Each structure stands twice: as C-alpha cells, then as structure tokens.
Structure 1
Amino acid sequence: METTRLHRGRLIDHIQLVVRDLKASETFYTAVLSVLDIPVVSTGNGYFMADELVVSSPDSVTASGSLTGRHHIALQAKDRESVDAFHRTGLENGGRDNGAPGLRAYHPGYYAAFLLDPDGNNIEAVYQGEAQRNVPSVTIDF
C-alpha cells in the first residue's frame, strides 16, 4: 500500500483564493513567495499551489465557479529583510501598496508589510521578532 504524506504548517490545512486573472496572480505570488523561500507549483489545470495556499481560476475543478472576494492572509517571514524584499518585489510584480514595511503596534517586534494582490486580497508578510518555535511544521502520514 502506498503511503501518502502531507506536510503542513502550524494551523491552517489550506486556503483557496479564486481569482479573475490566474496568470497575473501567478506572476505576483511566484515573485513575492520566492523572497520568503516558499516554492510555487504550477499545475497547468487552472490553479497553482504554494504550501497551504491554492490559487485558482473560477473554471478550475478546485473552485465553485465564483470569485472569493477580499481576504487577508499573513505569511511568515524569517527576518525584517525578507519583509522588505516581499514588499519591494510585490510592487514590481503587480501588487499595490497597502502598508509599507515597518513596526506595528500589535506586539513588540511585530514587523510587517502589506500588499494588495491583483484581486485586492490583502497579503501580509510578517516577522514576529525573536521567537522560537517548538517545531517548524508537521508531517502527516496515512
């Protein structure tokens, strides 16, 4: 029997965004996620994936045929320089500024930048400051 393995992060199994222009979204997400060391996998079937994020066109088999609307997704960054690079790269690849890199009042050390993707979703890169995780992620075998 073949073993199936899933590798997941801390909390969310997956998030799906259904977008108007898949090519524009793939350009944007490939660029900003590369500076955060998150690979994008293009399926060629009307959607692409990046870790727990699935982005699809409305006619993809993974979508229900309608756009998802405006969402906020926060992506983890390993340091402040990665947040800066995320913001700069996003602006160069179809994103719009929704908050320049900087410290936020949420808690001490919270350093973030915000971009609107081509569909108006609010995409954040955040470095939470010096912290230590108990595990980097979870592997699930079944």
Structure 2
Amino acid sequence: MTTSAIENWDWSRPVFDHLHLRVADLAASRAFYLAALRPLGIPLLIDTPETVQFPNLALSADGEPSARVHVAFVAADEDAVAAFHAAGVAAGGRDNGAPGPRRYGPPGSTYHAAYVLDPDGNNVEAVFRSFGG
C-alpha cells in the first residue's frame, strides 16, 4: 500500500465478517472477553456450552486452541481503551501494552491502543483512531 492509499483508506470500513477462536477453557475465555469487551460496548450474543459469541467474534473449545492471534477491537475513545485494558487485566488477562499513543496510521492521525493477552496468550487490542489536523 502506498502512502496515498493509506491516507485515503476509509478505516471505518469493515473488511472481516467474523473471527473464530478456539480456546482451551471456554468458561475462562468467556469471562475474560465478557469483561474486556464490556467497556467497548460489545455484548455477549450467544452463550451455550459449545460456543460463546460476541458480534463478529466466536469462541469454542472444539479443537486445538488458536495460537499467536492478534485481534484489535475498535474503541470509541481513549477512555474506552483504558477501560478495556483495566477490565481485561482484572479478568485474568496479562498486560501486553499499557494504554497510550502508538506510531501507526497515516500522517496527521492518532492511534491510541492497549494490549492484553487472553487466557490462551492471544494478543487482544483496543484501538481508538482519529484523523485530521
């Protein structure tokens, strides 16, 4: 992608329909994601013994756990990023990057993010992007 393409991309455009993570312990992952995603306004939609589903994210324990996945969720603002991080750590996740600005995105934009490792060691991020002067 050229700089021009990066600057002109509509970062609000969805490009994935959903992500399915296989987990070692469905109850532990349910508790972690329920707590971490609450500050982002992402609700639990389906909760059965076989699967847990949030909008665009499904969890199941029906195979080898997914490994070394990085998933980033959109946050409404910097406060939501901080709340995600605090909730994720309180729910048993491990800090993998405190809330703060990062050097990603086109010139003139901001990228404020935090990272928490889920119970299976996947890197879960909340990010707030803003564009313009």
C-alpha distance in 1 between matches for 2:32 and 2:40: 13
Is 1:120 the counterpart of 2:117 in the alignment? Answer: no
2:72 is aligned, of 55, 71, 74, to 74
Is 1:20 the counterpart of 2:24 in the alignment? Answer: yes
Structure 1 stretches of 4+ moved >6 Å:
none
CA deviation after TM superposition for structure 1 residue 46, in Å:
1.1
Matched with 2:52 is 48
Q: Which amino acid aligns with 2:71?
A: I
Q: Quick check: which one's helix share is greater?
A: 2
SS at match of 2:110: coil
Is 1:10 the counterpart of 2:14 in the alignment? Answer: yes
Question: Is the CA contact (8 Å cut-off) linking 2:65 and 2:120 kept in structure 1?
Answer: no
Provide TM-score, normalisation by structure 1. Answer: 0.78
Provide structure 1 residue ranges, at least 5 long, that are not aligned to the other structure. Answer: 1-8, 59-64, 132-142
CA deviation after TM superposition for structure 1 residue 106, in Å:
1.0
CA deviation after TM superposition for structure 1 residue 12, in Å:
0.6
C-alpha distance in 1 between matches for 2:121 and 2:31: 15
Provide TM-score, normalisation by structure 2. Answer: 0.83
Q: Which amino acid aligns with 2:120?
A: D
Question: When the two structures are aligned, how many residues end up with a matched partner?
Answer: 117
Deviations 1:89-141 (A, max 9, x none): 0010011000000000113310000000000000000001247xxxxxxxxxx
Matched with 1:135 is none
Which structure has more RCO (C-alpha within 8 Å, separation ≥ 6)? Answer: 1
CA deviation after TM superposition for structure 1 residue 13, in Å:
1.0
CA deviation after TM superposition for structure 1 residue 41, in Å:
2.2
When the two chains are superposed, the root-mean-square deviation of aligned CA atoms in Å is 1.4
Matched with 1:36 is 40
Provide structure 2 residue ranges, at least 5 long, that are not aligned to the other structure. Answer: 1-12
SS at match of 2:59: strand
Question: Is the CA contact (8 Å cut-off) linking 2:24 and 2:64 kept in structure 1?
Answer: no
